[in-house]
Amino acid sequence: MNNLDRRYENQWGSKGRSWNLICRDARSLTNNRCTLNPRHRATQVHHAYYRRRFGWLGRRLDIAGVERPGVDVFPLCDECHIPIAHHRDNWIQYEDQGDNHNTREFIAKLRWRHTWLVIAIRLGRFICRNWLFLLLAIIVAWLGRTPLLVIPAFAIGKIVF
Q: Are residues 102 and 158 in the same domain?
A: no
| 45, 74 contact by CB (below 8 A) | yes
Residue 160 neighbours by CB under 8 Å, 6+ apart: 143, 144, 149, 150, 153
Confidence of residue 145 (pLDDT cuts 50, 70, 90): low
Write down the mean pLDDT value for the chain: 80
**18 pLDDT above the threshold of 60:** yes
Domain coverage including residue 101: 3-128
User: pLDDT tens digit string along 20-70?
Assistant: 999 999 999 999 999 999 999 999 999 999 887 776 677 777 888 889 999
Whether this model's pTM surpasses 0.85: no
Q: Are residues 101 and 156 in the same domain?
A: no
CA distances from 49 to 64, 76, 87, 148, 161 (A): 10, 15, 14, 59, 56
Q: Are residues 47 and 95 in the same domain?
A: yes
